[in-house]
Amino acid sequence: MKAIVITEPGEPEVLQLKQRETPTPGPLEVLIKVAAAGVNRPDVSQRKGNYPPPTGAPADIPGLEVSGIVVEVGNDVKTWEAGDEVCALVSGGGYAEYVTAPIEQCLIIPEGVSLEDAASLPETFFTVWNNVFHIGKFKPGERVLIHGGSSGIGVAAIQMVKAMAGIVYTTAGSDEKCRFCEQLGAAHAFNYRTSDFEEEVFSVTEGKGVDIILDMVGGSYAAKNIRLLGYQGRLIMINAMDGKMGSVDLIRIMKNNLTITGSTLRPQSIAYKGHLAKTLMNEIWPFFPEKIKPIIHTRFALSDAAKAHALMERSSHIGKILLVP
């Protein structure tokens, strides 16, 4: 099969199209002929040598989410069969013509979503559900601030929180991106390049702040995030693009009974991810296509993976970037 291989840690150009052996599914895995693969920030980190894959995952083929058709099933598989259309969360290897996936991490294609577009869903929807709803214990009516609202994570989080009866505020890096976020369901979106999001959020919430913050920025955002959280608020970290160190008011954390937490999805067990998959199909998939839809910025041929990574790093996109074999 053809696959994109990280030939060495470095810039996007180290992603090269190579021939590799088609993988064989294990007893509780399926082999998927890939229709499309999603491009995500962890892929960029892995390419740079900063995010090693877990044991058992392909060491040099990135890609954490795919959609496609099951072409082979493991000996003990009862839930899927050849010909089924699925989208799946994988631990690596998605940038290829074929990839194996644990059966627990495969999901049906939501109503109204094309097979190709479904590749944009697993990594982001698993991540948002895990952090905002499972770890963050979101409740209907709560106010949620989502940083990076125009990112793949952001567009998923805006729609999911809005569909589950939350009030969404978000930040983005241009007026165009902010308008898009508001059209998608955010009550207010703030251009972090031209305004102070802390002041803006306090203004529109009449000084109340928010209940949950989903942050992928870290660094300089830490202190503002803490100040914006109301009583028993939750700050949930999923990345630290602005740096891993931040200064916070410890007394405020104690007085307001705040929770600061975070997670990474990739190292979690198959059973854990399988539980998330079932919950997504029960709780979120019914909102497709009326209240939730995939947001695709652009598609690249698999051989143009380097161009896809360059676009990801420029952060000029809105929504998801796909690779199509």
The Cα 140–Cα 110 span in angstroms is: 23
CB neighbours of residue 279 within 10 Å:
16
Q: Model confidence over 240-276: pLDDT tens digits?
A: 889 999 989 999 999 999 999 999 999 999 999 999 9
- Residue 78: give the domain boundaries: 2-121+266-324
Mean pLDDT in order along the chain per 10 residues (325 residues): 98 98 98 98 96 89 98 97 98 98 98 98 98 98 98 98 98 97 98 97 97 95 97 96 91 97 93 97 98 98 98 96 97
Question: Do both 248 and 274 map to the same domain?
Answer: no
Query: Could you check whether the bond before residue 9 is cis, i.e. omega within 30 degrees of 0?
Result: no
Look at residues 262, 281, 309 and tell me which one is the last residue of a structural domain. 262
Question: Do both 154 and 253 map to the same domain?
Answer: yes
Question: Do both 164 and 278 map to the same domain?
Answer: no
Question: Do both 50 and 74 map to the same domain?
Answer: yes
pLDDT for res 47: 98
pLDDT for res 55: 87
Q: Model confidence over 273-317: pLDDT tens digits?
A: 999 999 999 999 999 999 999 999 999 999 999 999 999 999 999
Question: Do both 146 and 244 map to the same domain?
Answer: yes
- CA-to-CA separations, 310 to 13, 131, 184, 237, in angstroms, rounded: 9, 27, 26, 24
pLDDT for res 28: 98
Question: Do both 140 and 64 map to the same domain?
Answer: no
Question: Do both 198 and 307 map to the same domain?
Answer: no
Question: Do both 85 and 192 map to the same domain?
Answer: no
Question: Do both 106 and 134 map to the same domain?
Answer: no
- What pTM was estimated for this model as a whole? 0.95
Question: Do both 159 and 241 map to the same domain?
Answer: yes
CATH code, domain carrying 6: 3.90.180.10
Question: Do both 86 and 154 map to the same domain?
Answer: no
Question: Do both 138 and 245 map to the same domain?
Answer: yes
Q: In which residue are the tokens 């102070």 written?
A: 196
Helices 152-163 and 175-184 pack at an angle, to 10 degrees, of 30
Query: What domain count does the chain have?
Result: 2
